[in-house]
Amino acid sequence: MPFATRSGSEVALHNLICYAARKGLTVAVACRSNGELLEQLPPSVPVFVHETSGIVRRSFASLSRRVQRDADGFPTLVHAKFKPDIWYVNTILQPWILSQAAKKGIPSVLHTYELEQVFARISEPETNILVTSPRLVVACSETARSVIHTLGRSERLEVNYPGIDPLSMKVETEKSRQLRKSLGIGDDTFLWIMAGTMDPNKNPLRFVELAGEMLSRDLDLHFLWVASGHNGYSAYVRSKARELGTSGKVTFVDASGADYYAWLNAADGAVITSFKESFSLVAAEAAHLGKPVVSFDSGGVKEIVREGMGKVIDSWNNADLISAMISIMNGELFFDPAIARARVQEFSIEVQGAQWLDIMRRHFADAGASSL
């Protein structure tokens, strides 16, 4: 994996690794930096970290070429020490690793979470490597699968949804209540939450615009964005929130691990503002915690939300999203936490992990079903 931070793709792979280890498979992790998820892996999973000076917590896209030059020998070194049967490569942003595997005759898997806009970060030859080189491509949703299929891959292309881990999401109600209190959010105030990296695709600007419009109607609400790290774009978004007069009603917090789920549990509803989502782990996690989800049709989120869980808006008009949000706040739009929780049980790691294991065994019986 690239960095072992709390991005959706890395959390999903982390959950799969933990599941595989519990099922007795032999798994090791090779990572570019010492991210927080590495500390949460089972003791039975060896970890190999290649930290290049200056790359931690910086843009993977802008530094990918430099990291490639510095780390070309890293997978080979790990292979020599661990002697795996398969290289499992997380995200499309590491095509050179797949290329190395092909040159060495090592079977590989590409696990892709990306939609079409991310392919602008890699070259056409690298895209061809992603499509043709892996023995197996695992897509995180039908939405993600369709992207790889459009690029020409039709065989050995499987869908395996990200598995959420309910055990790691157990939170104390009192802790969530105290978090609300720390921001001065009353019990009757409706708290809308979004989580994710502060980047244009996640669209935090739309998030603060929604807040500005709804607060201008004197609605009793608060908007909370949970992220990690800061950059120039996040500074601009915060400035925009102040410009719109939302001070004290729009909050940005850094959170990880248990604190992340406590914040999510503190909310009354989740609003997904992204332009593109191959799945939306946030939507699944919020539904598991019994929160309604409102989103534009950004892709994979439509594969999660069903009637009684919230609403997916087909238009891209703020007014339509606001209308759905107000309907939920007023109890006019049907929502049943039991329906939400039951639906996302289908995305639990026990269910999706079993399906993933079946996929691996079907495609790699010759490599040994007990070793990855």
Note the pLDDT of residue 372.
45
Q: Considering only CA atoms, which of 78, 158, 76, 72 is closest in space to residue 112?
A: 158
Tell whether 158 and 276 lie within a shared domain: no
In a domain? residue 372: no
Q: Do 176 and 155 lie in a common domain?
A: no
Residue 227 is classified by DSSP as E
Please tell me the predicted confidence (pLDDT) of residue 52.
52
329 with 363, same domain? no
Residue 2 in any domain: the answer is no
pLDDT of residue 180: 95
Per-residue pLDDT of the chain (372 residues; tens, 9 = 90+): 888 888 888 989 999 999 999 999 999 999 988 888 998 999 999 999 886 533 333 333 333 444 444 456 788 888 988 999 999 999 999 999 999 999 999 999 999 999 999 999 999 999 999 999 999 999 999 999 999 999 999 999 999 999 998 888 888 899 999 999 999 999 999 999 999 888 999 999 999 999 999 999 999 999 999 986 678 999 999 999 999 999 899 999 987 666 889 999 999 999 999 999 999 999 999 999 999 999 999 999 999 999 999 999 999 999 999 999 999 999 999 999 999 999 999 999 999 999 999 999 999 987 654 444
66 in Cβ contact with 34 (< 8 Å): no
> Tokens for 291?
């929160």
For residue 247, is it within any domain?
yes
Report yes or no on 319 lying in a domain.
Answer: yes
Q: Tell me how many domains the chain contains.
A: 2
Which one, of 78, 57, 49, 64, lies nearest residue 7 by Cα? 57
Q: Is residue 217 in some structural domain?
A: yes
43, 158: one domain: yes
Residue 35 sits in which domain range? Answer: 8-163+348-367
> Is residue 1 included in any domain, yes or no?
no
What is the pLDDT, as a whole number, of residue 258?
Answer: 67
Tokens 């109600």 belong to 173
Of 62, 77, 73, the closest CA to residue 96 belongs to: 73
173 and 135 assigned to the same domain: no
**213, 222, 283 from 198: Cα distances, Å:** 21, 18, 17
Q: Are 62 and 89 in contact (CB under 8 A)?
A: no
Give backbone dihedrals phi and psi of 338, rounded to 5 degrees, phi first. -65, -40
Q: 258 and 134 in one domain?
A: no
CA–CA distance, 102 with 333 (Å, rounded to integer)? 52
CA distance 242 to 295: 24
Shared-domain flag, residues 153 and 176:
no
Question: What's the pLDDT at 69?
Answer: 46
Q: Check: pTM over 0.85? Answer yes or no.
A: yes
Both 44 and 159 in one domain: the answer is yes
Q: Are residues 75 and 170 in the same domain?
A: no
pLDDT of the residue at 51: 64
Same domain, 239 and 119: no
Asked if residue 91 is part of any domain, the answer here is: yes
If asked whether residues 186 and 331 sit together in one domain, one would say: yes
Counting other chains too, the contacts that 88-93 makes at CB distance below 8 Å and 24 or more residues apart are 88/372, 89/134, 90/1, 90/2, 90/9, 90/10, 90/13, 91/1, 91/2, 91/9, 92/118, 92/119, 92/122, 92/130, 93/2, 93/60, 93/61, 93/64, 93/118, 93/121, 93/122
pLDDT of residue 53: 33
User: Are residues 342 and 352 located together in one domain of the fold?
Assistant: no
CATH number of the domain encompassing residue 274: 3.40.50.2000
Q: Which residues pair with 187 in a beta bridge?
A: none
d(Cα 142, Cα 124) in Å, to the nearest integer?
Answer: 23
